Chains A and B, each alone.
Chain A
């Protein structure tokens, strides 16, 4: 029995824009409603996912901001913040909320452009602990750099493996008109020229900072033959700092969420045809594949080298371009992953449609594994 159905999805382009946060949210909401064949009056409750509205723009109380997009409706609505996993957590909450509300709208939205670099790096770093990480200068790329160093020591992962992920995801983004780097071809020469950010991670190991929004309408019942069943939805957490963990090459929150989602969906990792995983840094895609049990620990790099995770491989990972090239509009990212998986499962992904897309998975991480939300969805006609 599915946890609920995705009736419709909508997404703005991820990337720099002058559009305001309310305007981005509205664009995604209208697209999701249109996709579902619904009107805003058909919605019973909404959840807003956002990370940095406060620190970046001085915008808080975002449920009421979104209420302003539907004046007079006075719907129940609330905001979720779980760093980069805000979107995935909001989708999880929306499914839970279906016990009370018939149709729940989720909208993830973020504005990142126009914020001075040093300030933005600090703000994004707020996903790390104030005392344990931020005060030690451990910004976001530095956290994942330590994960990469540990993974290299443990499994012989190389910077070349990381480059292959970057090249693959940039290649995928060229087929996704809503991707941050839809218009940019990234070559090995670009990667070689990329500046060091936090060793061993260089510029092209890092996702961009994007503006954007994504929305989805969920319901306990399917509405039509395009309604996509959510087979499994799981959320798990872990202590916020790497310094509070005994393992640094894997995220317990992701492993727990994945195993709970598989159990709920009645599938195993082997049944997954494709996945949208949280590749905020290239190393994160490696860790994601292993945490999701798509391969054994230390084996992800082999699959990457052999092209298994390419669009035409047996297990395509991040066909949308992922966060790396599709863009990372933080609060919107988890919802954007659901957008991609729904498009693929319906066979509506256009030029990047995958051959085999019966079971799709999303993996959305907050910070360095402090939060993880995993969703497993199936084909609409098989529900």
Chain B
């Protein structure tokens, strides 16, 4: 936010005010695009909103004679020239998103909130229309009409893959099926510029099998976001052997620019989080099958005993039972370890269409509003 000054009396304000308190004149923006460091402190104590330490707070004298406090991810020296207000990555690159499922919608919401230009491609116009409606509902919870319009000017949504030509980075977030992903990734790559990076949001399909269908495997990797993408801070970054170091670096930097924390993991089945989570959910289901306790109590035991914010069964409902069964089946086939096999109750729930929150029924009943 650049300071505003009164063209009549020279009073200076740091807020987005319209008029001068002294002479009621209309204020004008000042340009403060760079500054000299007057003082800098390395902050070692985290706080809500600034969880990652250390970071640096610098007091800058701007080129228009004002002062400004900025947060930096690196140390600077007093007297050093620091450029501020430079368009960050969000203003420089265009990001593509493939898919209108839970994660596709979440990613578009996240990207638009961060100020990115987004190209969103769906399989059908009908699914895009539904997804856009849902997106508007979500964004309008935190934005007014004007802001919403401004964001939508940055969104190009449709079913035409050729729009991906504008993108510097494309994230594929379609259904978690190997053949479907292969085909979409291949089509997307053909539409993309040769300098652009392609990422899949798979939670555990073999990356080398996906990479081998591509013409530029060195520009391909995995960004595994967690649901809800706007709130979960982790991104598991993983790349097959064919990926270049520069691509890995870009994927990590992009995650950080979104305010996320990238953790780079080897491209083993289900990476780290789901590899640990799936057996936990499976054992919780086994406990339910064996009538150890009702679902509510199993969840409560895990919440309190392991200090998890959600129990495994309510989490399974949130993720989707069908998604969980897919991941577990994948784990079995890729590790040849039958211990990962989904419990019979999970399969039965899929057969009955009780897929969790999205079908309003899973381990819990979501059909009635909760008291």
- Seen from chain A, the residues whose Cβ lies within 8 Å of a Cβ on chain B are 117-119, 121-122, 125, 129, 131-139, 141-142, 145-146, 149-150, 153, 195-201, 239, 241-246, 248
- Cβ of B139 < 8 Å from any Cβ of A? no
By Cβ-Cβ distance, the 8 closest A-B pairs, closest first, are: A121-B47, A145-B41, A149-B39, A122-B48, A137-B71, A137-B50, A199-B42, A122-B47
Name the A residues within 8 Å of B14 (CB-CB).
Answer: 129, 131-132, 239, 241, 243-244
Given contacts A137-B55, A198-B45, contact A146 B39 (CB under 8 A): yes
**Which residues on A sit within 8 Å (CB–CB) of B51?**
118
**Shortest distance between the CB of B3 and any CB in chain A (Å):** 9
Cβ–Cβ contact A243 & B46, under 8 A: no
> Is B48 a contact of A146 with CB atoms below 8 Å?
no
CB-defined contacts of A118 to chain B, threshold 8 Å: 46-48, 51
CA distance A199 to B55 in the complex (A): 11
Greatest chain A CB density within 10 A among B39, B42, B47, B57 is at: B47
Give the Cβ gap from A131 to chain B, nearest Cβ, in Å.
Answer: 6
Beyond A136-B69, A241-B14, A245-B67, whether A150 also contacts B48 by CB under 8 A is no
A242–B44 touching, CB < 8 Å: no
Q: How far apart sit A136 and B69, CA to CA, in the bound complex (Å)?
A: 7
Known A-B contacts A129-B14, A137-B50, A142-B57; the reply to A243 vs B44 at CB < 8 A is no
B38 adjacent to A248 (CB under 8 Å): yes
A244 contacts across to B, CB distance below 8 A? 12, 14, 67
CB-nearest residue of chain A to B70: A136
Chain A minimum-CB-distance residue to B49:
A122
- Interface residue B15 (Cβ < 8 Å from any Cβ of A): yes
- Name B78's contact: one of A135, A136, A153 (CB within 8 Å): A153
Q: Is A146 touching B44 in the complex (CB atoms < 8 A)?
A: no
Interface assignment of B318: CB less than 8 Å from any CB of chain A? no
Name B40's closest neighbour in chain A (CB-CB). A149
Nearest CB of B to A238, in Å: 13
Interface CB pairs A-B, < 8 A, 29: A117-B46, A118-B46, A121-B47, A129-B14, A134-B49, A135-B49, A135-B71, A136-B57, A137-B49, A137-B57, A138-B71, A139-B50, A145-B43, A149-B39, A149-B59, A150-B38, A153-B39, A196-B42, A197-B43, A197-B44, A198-B42, A198-B57, A201-B41, A239-B14, A242-B59, A242-B69, A243-B14, A243-B66, A243-B68
- As a 0/1 sequence over residues 310 to 346 of chain B, the CB contacts with chain A under 8 angstroms (1 = contact) are 0000000000000000000000000000000000000
Decide: A131 near B44, CB < 8 A? Known: A137-B57, A243-B69. no
- C-alpha spacing A121/B47, complex, angstroms: 5
A334 CA to B97 CA in the complex, in Å?
56
The answer to whether B293 has its CB under 8 Å from any CB of chain A is no
Flag whether B304 is at the interface (Cβ < 8 A).
no
A336 to chain B, nearest CB (A): 25
Tell which of B1, B15, B47, B68 touches A139, judged by Cβ atoms closer than 8 Å. Answer: B47
For the A-B complex, the count of residue pairs with Cβ-Cβ distances under 8 Å equals: 106
Contact residue among A122, A198, A246 (Cβ-Cβ distance under 8 Å from B41): A198
A198 touches B44 (CB 8 A): yes
CA distance A118 to B46 in the complex (A): 6
Other than the known A139-B45, A153-B78, A241-B14, what 10 A-B pairs have Cβ atoms closer than 8 Å? A122-B48, A122-B49, A139-B50, A145-B57, A149-B78, A199-B41, A199-B44, A242-B59, A243-B69, A248-B59
Contacts of B39 in A (CB 8 A): 146, 149-150, 153, 248
CA–CA, A101 to B320, complex, Å? 66
Q: Which of B12, B45, B71 has the most CB of A within 10 A?
A: B45
In the complex formed, the residue of B with least CB distance to A246 is B67
Please judge, given known A-B contacts A150-B38, A199-B42, A243-B59, whether A133 and B47 are in contact too, CB under 8 Å: no
Nearest CB on B from A152, distance (A): 9
CB distance from A195 to the nearest CB of B (A): 7
Residues of A within 8 A of B71 (CB): 135-138
Q: What's the nearest-Cβ distance from chain B to residue A221, in Å?
A: 40
- A195 to B45: give the CA distance in the assembly, Å: 10
- Chain A residues closer than 8 Å to B45, beta-carbon distance: 117, 121, 139, 141, 197-198
Q: Which residue of A lies closest to B15 (CB)?
A: A131
A149 (CB) vs chain B CBs: closest residue: B39
In the complex, chain B residues 52-87 whose Cβ is within 8 Å of any chain A Cβ: 55, 57, 59, 66-71, 78
Q: Flag if A131 contacts B42 (CB, 8 Å).
A: no
Shortest Cβ distance from residue B115 to the other chain A in the assembled complex, whole angstroms: 15
A153 contact set on B, CB distance < 8 A: 39, 78
Once the chains are docked, how many angstroms separate the CA of A131 from the CA of B43?
Answer: 18
| A142/B43 in contact, CB under 8 A | yes
Q: Which residues of A sit under 8 angstroms from B15, Cβ to Cβ?
A: 131
Assembled-state Cα–Cα distance A245/B38 (Å): 13
Complex Cα–Cα for A141 and B70 (A) = 15
Residues of B within 8 A of A241 (CB): 14, 69
Q: Please determine whether A132 and B69 come into contact, CB atoms closer than 8 angstroms.
A: yes
Q: A200 — which chain B residues lie within 8 A by C-beta? A: 41
B87-146 residues at the A interface, CB under 8 angstroms: none
Contact across chains for B69 and A131 when beta carbons are under 8 A apart: no
CB distance from B13 to the nearest CB of A (A): 8
Q: A244 CA to B57 CA in the complex, in Å?
A: 16
* Inter-chain contacts of A248 with B (CB < 8 A): 38-39, 59, 67
Q: CA–CA, A243 to B40, complex, Å?
A: 13
Q: Is the CB–CB distance between A243 and B43 below 8 Å?
A: no
Interface residues of B in 1-53 (CB under 8 A from A): 1, 12, 14-15, 38-51
Cα of A132 to Cα of B13 in the assembled complex, Å: 11
Residues of chain A within 8 A (CB-CB) of B38 are 150, 248
Tell me which of A136, A138, A195, A246 contacts B44 (CB under 8 A): A195
Among A150, A195, A198, A246, the residue within 8 A (CB) of B43 is A198
**A121-B46 contact in complex given A142-B41, A239-B14, A248-B39, C-beta closer than 8 Å:** yes
In the complex, what distance in Å separates the CA atom of A149 from the CA atom of B49?
A: 25
**Residues of chain B with a CB closer than 8 A to A135's CB:** 49, 71
CB distance from B22 to the nearest CB of A (A): 14
Cα-based distance from A194 to B34 in the complex (angstroms): 36
The docked-state distance in angstroms from the alpha carbon of A201 to that of B69 is 18
Cα–Cα distance between A196 and B44 once the two chains are bound (Å): 7
**For residue A150, which residue of chain B has the nearest CB?**
B39
Interface hits, B267-291 → A, CB 8 Å: none
